[in-house]
Chains A and B, each alone.
Chain A
């Protein structure tokens, strides 16, 4: 198996607080292959954005990586010096944030921000950087890019601004783009366009994408594989089609049941009882056990690790361990 572009192993992120240390990410592991789009879903507070921030080295204090490792093309990046990590950001890993209205500095023109980013990472003259910036804006679908480039962010609509943000994230040809809920703050009518622009621009450049969202529809259309996060742990990870059509983890199937479909008519959508535990009250064993309908003793006692299910699927659920035991007998 070739070295994955990004490899996250047993990543632990902790927040020391006055009342003890909160573990926000607990042994999260996943890979992203080159040119692959990995979706990352989960409820608010499951640790999706935190995973992105930890990878790119922008955890906000007092949060810190307390264990595990992050490798980019086999090279560890979680323990780089701040200066070396800065050179990775933007150059090798680009990032797109949720709210395009606040992601751009209001006091600088789009051209100034693009050229600044390009020249930070690439050895280009002002003129060449500008030419490249116009090309990027053109690529992300901004009409009359050569003229609009000298406008300020407030001259653009939300969707257009997110295109500018994508252009900025791609400015130095990163190998990986982390998109943290890139469409959540946008109008429904432009969400699909932005996702298309993001995906196409990345595929064109051979860049992988880590797409963080809670919108299953976006994942289904865009991602190759999907990782489901629950309470700071990976519950299930696998090819999108498999996970969506035949979810194995009870939490994932609960999530899928909560999505309305056009073909089925149901009076009520299924709902997972209860809510995700707070970080200071994660139950022993499987974090999902108090809400799970298939819960049994072992779930309350031991924490399940990811179990390989074949076809690239992994599930952290004792149900499947028991099945295998039975099969062995």
Chain B
């Protein structure tokens, strides 16, 4: 078990190093940073001076090492555009994105599993037929279109929900600004969360349905029925648990993409999260913010993957090999 975690940790570090290299390369390939820092009147000599002072003349490995050691300490430099430390900027925007991603992730998982199980067990009735049809729309419509449609129906026509922003927010602790504790904050969350989670939900639903149908055909389900277990025990105790093993992986990976792809939803709903920050940074070639964002998303994926592997381990006893080999 310990060896397994260590091995995964080493792999994670390698992934992070690779991403750091790519992020660092951004600085070198997205034009000359000096050019975007200084005005037109700066002389060549002054430019060379700044270059020397910033360490840009150092050999590549030295510069990369400086970047890495600062990044580990949470120092990604100063935003070109906003003249604020990048880390501060990201931390102030992160709660908005995490709240949105978490809520839509939970919604996607609960509804996805619920609908998936329902459509697998009640194959052929009209309700599961319509759920399957509607889910096709969820899979095929692009996210921004869903967002715009939702705004049109619920914000413009019905005027039930706000069309943009986070509503009222309050602070928890020093820097976590939450919208979950105020009515307007919660109302503002609904449309973006649906927009962001709909695709993931339909994906999870279709996966759960397919897995569930597969599991229901297995011998151990037949044997469970032959033992006279109730339908509930067979469906939810035996079938669902086996279904969830692959579903956990996909859901975990989807959680990563929910955070990463919140860019589109945040743009459509003007949600003040890191995705919107990233889009604006791209527009202004704000390389430090872009690099930090890249590292952040990579970190999210790496951590989620690690958690998924550990969950796998908890759900499926066959993976706990050390115990088995000790016994047999």
Contacts A116-B233, A120-B233 given; indicate if A103 touches B219 (C-beta within 8 A).
yes
Cα-based distance from A105 to B215 in the complex (angstroms): 10
Q: State whether the Cβ of A212 lies closer than 8 Å to any Cβ in chain B.
A: no
Task: Determine whether the beta carbon of A95 is less than 8 Å from that of B220.
Answer: no
- Across the interface, name the chain A residue whose C-beta is closest to B215: A105
Evaluate contact between B228 and A90: CB separation under 8 angstroms. Answer: yes
Give Cα A155 to B321, complex, Å.
10
| Binary CB contact string for chain A from 143 to 180 against chain B (1 if under 8 A, 0 otherwise) | 00000000110110000000001001101100000000
B70 part of interface (Cβ distance < 8 Å)? no
Does A251 have its Cβ within 8 Å of any Cβ on chain B?
A: no
Q: Are A86 and B230 in contact (CB under 8 A)?
A: yes
Chain B positions within 8 Å of A151 at CB level: 327
- Tell me whether A56 and B229 are in contact (CB under 8 A): no
Instruction: Please classify the interface of chain A as helix (H, G, I), strand (E, B), loop, or mixed, using the class held by over half of its residues.
Output: mixed
The reply to whether A89 and B219 form a contact with Cβ atoms under 8 Å apart is no
B36, chain A: closest CB distance, angstroms:
56
Given A107-B317, A155-B328, A99-B219 contact (CB < 8 Å): yes
Does chain A have a CB within 8 A of B225?
Answer: yes
Q: Is the CB of B242 within 8 A of A106?
A: yes
In the complex, chain A residues whose CB is within 8 Å of the CB of B228: 86-91, 117, 120-121, 172
In the bound complex, how far is the Cα of B316 from the Cα of A120, in angstroms?
24
**Distance of A165 Cα from B224 Cα, bound (Å):** 11
The size class of the interface chain B forms with chain A is 20 to 34
- Chosen A-B contacts, 20 in total, with CB atoms closer than 8 Å, are A86-B230, A90-B226, A90-B228, A90-B229, A95-B223, A104-B220, A106-B220, A107-B241, A107-B315, A116-B233, A117-B227, A117-B228, A120-B229, A121-B228, A152-B318, A155-B324, A155-B327, A168-B223, A169-B227, A171-B227
B233 close to A103 (CB less than 8 A) = no
Q: Any chain B CB within 8 A of the CB of A125? A: no
Do residues A97 and B227 form an inter-chain contact, with CB atoms below 8 A? Answer: no
Supposing A88-B228, A120-B230 touch, asked if A102 and B219 sit within 8 A by C-beta, the answer is yes
Inter-subunit contact A120/B227 (CB<8 Å): yes
Q: Which residue of the partner chain, among B219, B223, B242, contacts A107 with CB atoms under 8 Å?
A: B242
Chain A proximity of B54: nearest CB distance (Å): 57
Q: Which of B223, B229, B241 has the most CB of A within 10 A?
A: B223
B242 touches A58 (CB 8 A): no
Is B238 located at the chain interface by the 8 A CB criterion? yes
- Given known contacts A91-B228, A120-B229, is B223 in contact with A104 (CB within 8 Å)? yes
**Residues on A close to B: CB < 8 A?**
56, 58, 86-91, 94-95, 97, 99, 102-109, 116-117, 120-121, 151-152, 154-155, 165, 168-169, 171-172
Partner of B220, one of A56, A88, A102: A102
Shortest Cβ distance from B87 into chain A, in angstroms?
43
Q: Is B122 an interface residue (CB 8 A)?
A: no
CA distance A58 to B231 in the complex (A): 13
Q: State which of A89, A105, A121 has its C-beta within 8 Å of the C-beta of B238.
A: A105
Distance of A97 Cα from B11 Cα, bound (Å): 43
A-B interface, 6 closest residue pairs, ranked by CB to CB distance from nearest: A90-B228, A89-B228, A95-B226, A102-B219, A90-B227, A152-B317
Interface status of B42 (Cβ within 8 A of chain A): no
Neighbouring B residues of A152 by C-beta, 8 Å: 317-318, 324
Q: For A89, what are the chain B residues with a Cβ–Cβ distance below 8 Å? A: 225-228
14 more contacts with CB within 8 A, not counting A89-B227, A106-B316, are: A86-B229, A91-B228, A95-B223, A95-B227, A99-B219, A103-B220, A105-B238, A106-B242, A106-B317, A107-B316, A107-B317, A120-B227, A154-B318, A169-B226
Does B218 reach chain A (CB closer than 8 Å)? Answer: yes
- For window 282-328 of B, CB contacts with A under 8 Å fall at 315-318, 324, 327-328
Interface presence of B222 (CB below 8 A): yes
B223-262, CB < 8 A from A: 223-231, 233, 237-238, 241-242, 245
Determine the distance from Cα of A131 to Cα of B219 in the docked complex, in whole angstroms. 27
User: A71 vs B231: C-alpha distance in the bound complex, in angstroms?
Assistant: 24
